[in-house]
Structure 1
Amino acid sequence: MEILSSRTLLISSDPAALTEFYRDRLGLAVAREYPGGTVFHAGAGFLEIPAHLSADAPAHAADILWLQVRDVAAVHRDLAAKDVRILAAPEIKPWGLIEMTIVDPDGRKLIVVEIPADHPLRRDVRK
């Protein structure tokens, strides 16, 4: 199977509120808007909020988005000023990443990650 592109669809009981959160509070750039929803740039991938699909139940607690940023401390300050619900402030985890956890309007967790310059994810491990 050859995958040409991918995106994650976030199904919500209130797509308008979820769109506002990702567009206005997190500041994700809009890749495309169409009559049934919005697609956002999310690094090398995409997040789509399809307004034509809805969920009667809240987002499952196991749904987590992992978003890498350049400066998690700056993101923390920005999101706190925008009243984004922050579950965990930035901290260095045992695996060496600096992470914070926030929540979207549907209760979905987002882990915001900064990869330090000396972390193995930044090293060229090719032989």
Structure 2
Amino acid sequence: MEVESTVIGITSRDPQRLYEWYRDTLGLPVAEDETMGPTALNAGGAILSFGVHSEISGPAKEPARHLNSLFIADIDAEQERLVAAGVRCIRDRGREFWGGVISTFVDPDGNYIQLIQLHPGDATHEAAAAGQKA
């Protein structure tokens, strides 16, 4: 299979609110693709599209089942920015066995968002891996 593009549909009872949160709080840029409609955002090489679904109600019942993972260059700065903005962090940044660092947040609908930095190497990451403050 040759995939030409990737669109991740995120459904919500209030897709406009969720779209605005991903745009304004996470800081994802608006997708310049008119076919995706007015509530689409760029997330690296993928597009996040927000819409409604008749079978959706309340917060995500199993938020760990589907993880929105965003690979970023500076997990320290992004975690600090999101925490300062009041975003709920459920997993402080920590080094994984494969060498990367992951931090997990919750969006307004209860979905999990993982921030991942693949190649950390500064003192902050070393301290986080050891469970200490840098």
Tell me the TM-score range normalised by the shorter chain: 0.7 to 0.9
CA contact (8 A) 1:91 1:98 kept: yes
Q: How many aligned positions are there?
A: 117
Structure 2 matches for 1:1-127, cutoff 5 A?
1-32=1-32, 37-50=38-51, 52-53=52-53, 55-59=56-60, 60-61=62-63, 62-116=65-119
TM-score (norm 2): 0.77
Ranges in structure 1 where 5+ consecutive residues have no aligned partner: 119-127
Deviation at 1:63, TM superposition (A): 1.6
Q: 1:72 to 1:39 in 2, by over 3 A?
A: same
Q: Kindly provide the CA deviation profile for residues 51-92 of structure 1, in whole angstroms up to 9, marking residues without a partner as x.
A: x54522533421211110000000011101111111111111
What is the identity, as a one-letter code, of the residue corresponding to 1:64? L
Q: Output the aligned Cα RMSD.
A: 2.2
Ranges in structure 2 where 5+ consecutive residues have no aligned partner: 122-134
Where does structure 1 differ by over 3 angstroms across 4 or more consecutive aligned residues? 32-37
Q: 1:93 to 1:35 in 2, by over 3 A?
A: closer
TM-score (norm 1): 0.81
Deviation at 1:2, TM superposition (A): 3.2
Deviation at 1:41, TM superposition (A): 0.4
Using the aligned pairs only, state the percent identity. Answer: 34
Comparing 89-98 and 58-67, the one that deviates more: 58-67
Indicate the structure with greater helix content.
2
CA distance in 1, matches of 2:68, 2:58: 18
Deviation at 1:26, TM superposition (A): 0.2
What is the identity, as a one-letter code, of the residue corresponding to 2:3? I
CA distance in 1, matches of 2:119, 2:18: 30
CA contact (8 A) 1:37 1:49 kept: no
Indicate the structure with greater strand content.
1
Deviation at 1:106, TM superposition (A): 1.0
Q: 1:90 to 1:11 in 2, by over 3 A?
A: same
